[in-house]
Amino acid sequence: MNKPSMKSSKRPRGATALAAVAGVAAAAVVLSVAELIGAFFTTRATPLIALGSTFIDFTPLWMKNFAVETFGTNDKAALFVGMAVTILLLACVLGIVAYRKWGLGVAGVLLMGAVIVGSVVTRAGVKPVDAIPSLIGTISGLVVLRFLITRLWRMQEWPDRAADLAAKEPERPATTRRGFFAAAGITAAASAVAATGGRMLSSARSNVAAARESLQLPAPAKAAAAVPAGVQSKVPGVVPWLTPNKDFYRIDTALSVPEINVQDWELRIHGMVEQEVRLTFQDLLDAKLIESHVSLTCVSNPVGGNLAGNAKWLGMPIRDALKMARPKAGADMVLSTSIDGFSASTPLEVLQDGRDAMLAIAMNGEALPLEHGYPVRMVVPGLYGFVSATKWVVDLEVTRFADNKAYWTQRGWSERGPIKTMARIDVPKSFAKVPAGKVAIGGTAWAQTRGITKVEVQIDSGPWTEAVLSDEASLITWRQWSLDWDATPGPHYLKVRATDGSGEVQTDKRADPVPDGASGWQSVMVTVE
Ligand SMILES: Nc1nc2c(c(=O)[nH]1)N[C@H]1C(S)=C(S)[C@@H](COP(=O)(O)O)O[C@H]1N2
Ligand SMILES: [Mo]
């Protein structure tokens, strides 16, 4: 009569919610224990980072684009929030399942463990031993789940089940709701401490940031061409012509910035070459370095967007490195790969022509910031970053487009990515309210390797008016512009378009960033008062 029943009619009130709490506490233990022990293993392989990367890999393309468009460079924060919510929900379900059917709960936790282990060991450059933290985490989580769920089973407020269990094991006392919450609370607090400790340990273990600070940069064999005095638009609010490192846009798939010791860094050049080459960081320091201002642009940049920047780079010409390896006839592509598995396909020809394509070691006079590719990244004028600007680069494979596909190409983006001519209005901002009279319009424009020869602005449906171009530093840097406008009260639309050095007027044909870059004219609505 008094048998405990799993039927919902007999289930004590509130049990489901408490079981969910037990599930969340157990999941916290799985992740935090794994994170803490993971601090002693490969940093990129800690479970949270690996899970996040796997999450990204399985995110459909449309959702990824939506995330980048909606959250911009906060897309990683958005990812972690999304992941946290997913894990929280799964943990609740696991707790409830374990309470009702322990065996199923165990299976669920093991499955969760398997997913974590799977995402850890499939990361690039990760060894099988890196699975150990996740395994220990999973087992700890199971132990805690068993402990908490048993407390629920023995809850004295729910006499049916508790009495039955007490009859079986009379020496074990019944538990109380308060006791349960105390246990769950202690578990959660311990998890938080373990996770924080793990994160702190991970960063303390690497002193790459300090090594970067003290790196002595060599002088270039060929210094950057002098920058003309008038490169900056006179209009206040137009972005600085030279983007400070701290303001430089950042786009990459790395959830934790790779931390590479220069002593460990090596670049392998192989594939369709006469001679496989390995370059150390010292080899780069000893090479004939060039210095050059180059504007980078992201293919994901929407029309009018700010995923573009301009910096002074110092590095070894990639053609010099390729010369050592001597590419074989028939090769037409270099697949560059970063330490964390990102890859880019760059036409071999582009890396061998005269442009300042380089293995860069410095940005605006200091060693590359960690998040911009320390210690070595590629910079290739004229190509979007996804097919050229590999950060934390460790491998160059000389190959053919027909034989190899890069990271984003495998995900629906183009295999090649020459930068499209683009003009941008920085001032006034979209939806700005400006006083009637003289209004300064200004912005920047780019068409790396072709240069900008004209920028025109159209007010409403009026004629296209030529803007004043700021000085041109080179064909591979962006060029600023300004225009004075006699603004009359009312709403107005400002449009902008550029003409590049080949004589081509920027197309008004709207294209999404996927697969090879956005196009169209930016239009800004302003209200003149
Ligand atoms: N290792 C690595 N390098 C990478 C990427 C990446 O995801 N991983 N993204 C590329 C893309 S899409 C762009 S636009 C540039 C951005 O460089 P930045 O972050 O220094 O501005 O880096 C490129 N290099
Ligand atoms: Mo990009």
- pLDDT per residue as tens digits for the range 207-240: 788 789 889 999 999 999 999 999 999 999 999 9
Ligand 1 near 44 CB (within 6 A): no
> pLDDT (tens digit, 9 = 90+) per residue, 24-39?
999 999 999 998 888 8
Q: Are 370 and 259 in contact (CB under 8 A)?
A: yes
Clarify whether residues 431 and 396 are in a common domain. no
Compute the half-sphere exposure of residue 444: CA atoms within 13 Å on the CB side of its CA: 27
Atom of ligand 1 nearest to the CA of 249: 21
Clarify whether residues 406 and 510 are in a common domain. no
Flag whether pLDDT at 504 surpasses 80. Answer: yes
Which bound ligand lies closest to the C-alpha atom of 294?
1
Predicted confidence at residue 288, as pLDDT, reads: 98
Ligand 1 near 389 CB (within 6 A): yes
Tokens linked to 484: 């004075």
Clarify whether residues 457 and 436 are in a common domain. yes
Map residue 199 onto helix, strand or coil.
helix
Determine what percent of the chain is predicted with pLDDT higher than 70.
92
216 within domain boundaries: no
Look at phi and psi of residue 421 and say left if phi exceeds 0, alpha if psi is from -120 to 50, else beta: beta
Predicted confidence at residue 141, as pLDDT, reads: 95
Chain-centre distance of CA 89, in angstroms? 25
293 within domain boundaries: yes
Clarify whether residues 385 and 429 are in a common domain. no
Write down the mean pLDDT value for the chain: 91
Q: Averaged over 126-131, what is the pLDDT?
A: 80
Which bound ligand lies closest to the C-alpha atom of 513?
2
Predicted confidence at residue 98, as pLDDT, reads: 95
Predicted confidence at residue 193, as pLDDT, reads: 92
Query: Which residue minimizes the CA distance to atom 15 of ligand 1?
Result: 385
Which position has the token pair 């786009």? 251
Predicted confidence at residue 83, as pLDDT, reads: 85
Tell me, in angstroms, the distance from the centre of ligand 2 to residue 499's CA. Answer: 23
Tell me, in angstroms, the distance from the centre of ligand 1 to residue 250's CA. Answer: 7
Clarify whether residues 150 and 262 are in a common domain. no
Instruction: Calculate ∠ Cα 260-265-267, nearest 5°.
Output: 135
> Binning pLDDT at 50, 70 and 90, where does residue 45 land?
low
417 within domain boundaries: no
Map residue 480 onto helix, strand or coil.
strand
Tell me, in angstroms, the distance from the centre of ligand 2 to residue 42's CA. Answer: 26
CATH of residue 438: 2.60.40.650
Torsion of CA 429, 434, 436, 439, to 10 degrees: -40
CATH of residue 308: 3.90.420.10
Q: Averaged over 426-452, what is the pLDDT?
A: 97
Clarify whether residues 182 and 59 are in a common domain. yes
Chain-centre distance of CA 497, in angstroms? 30
Q: Averaged over 460-474, what is the pLDDT?
A: 98
Tell me, in angstroms, the distance from the centre of ligand 1 to residue 196's CA. Answer: 28
DSSP state of 225: P
223 within domain boundaries: no
Among 411, 445, 470, which residue terminates a domain? 411
234 within domain boundaries: no
Among 411, 441, 467, which residue terminates a domain? 411
91 within domain boundaries: yes
Ligand 1 near 65 CB (within 6 A): no
Clarify whether residues 270 and 400 are in a common domain. yes
> pLDDT (tens digit, 9 = 90+) per residue, 85-108?
989 999 999 999 999 999 999 999
Tokens linked to 268: 């392998």
Predicted confidence at residue 322, as pLDDT, reads: 98
Q: Averaged over 274-295, what is the pLDDT?
A: 97
Looking at the 3D structure of the chain, how many domains does it have? Answer: 3
H/E element, 465:
strand 464-466
Q: Averaged over 342-360, what is the pLDDT?
A: 97
Q: Averaged over 494-502, what is the pLDDT?
A: 98
Q: Specify the range with the lowest mean pLDDT, choosing from 46-50, 273-277, 280-284, 330-334.
A: 46-50
Clarify whether residues 429 and 291 are in a common domain. no
Ligand 1 near 385 CB (within 6 A): yes
Which position has the token pair 């995900």? 411
> pLDDT (tens digit, 9 = 90+) per residue, 173-211?
677 888 889 999 999 999 999 988 887 887 766 678 878
Predicted confidence at residue 2, as pLDDT, reads: 40
Predicted confidence at residue 3, as pLDDT, reads: 38
pTM (two decimals): 0.73
Predicted confidence at residue 208, as pLDDT, reads: 84
> Residue 197 phi/psi, 5° resolution?
-60, -40
Structural domain boundaries enclosing 152: 6-205
42 within domain boundaries: yes
Ligand 1 near 390 CB (within 6 A): yes
- Secondary-structure breakdown of the chain: helix, strand, coil percentages, each rounded to the nearest 5: 40, 25, 40
416 within domain boundaries: no
What is the C-alpha separation between 270 and 326, in angstroms, rounded? 10
Tokens linked to 404: 């190899």
Clarify whether residues 310 and 358 are in a common domain. yes
Distances (CA, A) of 494 to 240, 478, 528: 22, 21, 12
> pLDDT (tens digit, 9 = 90+) per residue, 365-382?
999 999 999 999 999 999
Clarify whether residues 37 and 170 are in a common domain. yes
Ligand 1 near 19 CB (within 6 A): no
- Higher-confidence residue of 123 and 132: namely 132
Query: Which residue minimizes the CA distance to atom 5 of ligand 1?
Result: 252
Among 348, 381, 411, which residue terminates a domain? 411
Query: Which residue minimizes the CA distance to atom 24 of ligand 1?
Result: 390
Tokens linked to 421: 């001519």
Atom of ligand 1 nearest to the CA of 258: 1
Indicate the angle between helix axes 75-100 and 47-58, nearest 10 degrees: 100
Flag whether pLDDT at 73 surpasses 70. Answer: no
Torsion of CA 280, 283, 285, 288, to 10 degrees: -140
The DSSP bridge pattern shows strands 290-297 and 308-317 to be antiparallel
> Binning pLDDT at 50, 70 and 90, where does residue 8 land?
very low
Q: Which residues of 337-374 are buried (b: 16+ CB within 10 A; e: fewer)?
A: bbbbbbbbbbbbebbbeebbbbbbbbbbeebbbbebbb
> Binning pLDDT at 50, 70 and 90, where does residue 249 land?
very high
Atom of ligand 1 nearest to the CA of 340: 1
Which position has the token pair 């165990």? 106
Flag whether pLDDT at 434 surpasses 60. Answer: yes
Tell me, in angstroms, the distance from the centre of ligand 2 to residue 327's CA. Answer: 27
Clarify whether residues 284 and 179 are in a common domain. no
Q: Averaged over 131-160, what is the pLDDT?
A: 87
Clarify whether residues 267 and 319 are in a common domain. yes
- DSSP code string of 358-423: EEEEEETTEEPPGGGTTT-EEE-TTB-GGGT--TTEEEEEEE-TTT---TTGGGT--S--BPPPEE
H/E element, 443:
strand 437-446
What is the C-alpha separation between 396 and 436, in angstroms, rounded? 56
Map residue 192 onto helix, strand or coil.
helix
